[in-house]
Amino acid sequence: MMRTAASPTVIASGSRVAFDSEEGPQAGVVECVKPDLGNGQRIALVRVADTLDGMPWQVPVEQLQAVGARS
């Protein structure tokens, strides 16, 4: 689990998150958080509906913003 610098909320598997990308704002669910093998940076695999043919986005945890669950 990882807390983001901007938020005291813990980012972990199952967390709903938002982030900015070259394609614009994105929102999805964290599949898992793992360390980058090269530099040890924490990377989240985020599933975003209807993008990348179902492949998860790899996003540094510090670039994620936790969002509330949908009602």
Identify whether 41 is part of a domain. yes
What's the pLDDT score for residue 9? 75
pTM: 0.79
pLDDT tens-digit readout, 47-70: 999 888 889 999 999 999 999 755
22 in any annotated domain: yes
User: pLDDT tens across 6-48, in order?
Assistant: 546 789 999 999 999 999 999 999 999 999 999 999 999 999 9
Q: What is the CATH number of the domain that holds 29?
A: 2.30.30.1060
Report yes or no on 71 lying in a domain: no
Q: Which two tokens stand for residue 69?
A: 């669950």
**46 within 8 A of 19, measured Cβ to Cβ:** yes
Number of domains present in the structure of the chain: 1
The DSSP annotation for 3-63 comes to E-SS-SSEE-TT-EEEEEETTEEEEEEEEEEEE-TTT--EEEEEE-TTSGGGPPEEEEGGG
Question: What domain range is 49 assigned to?
Answer: 2-66
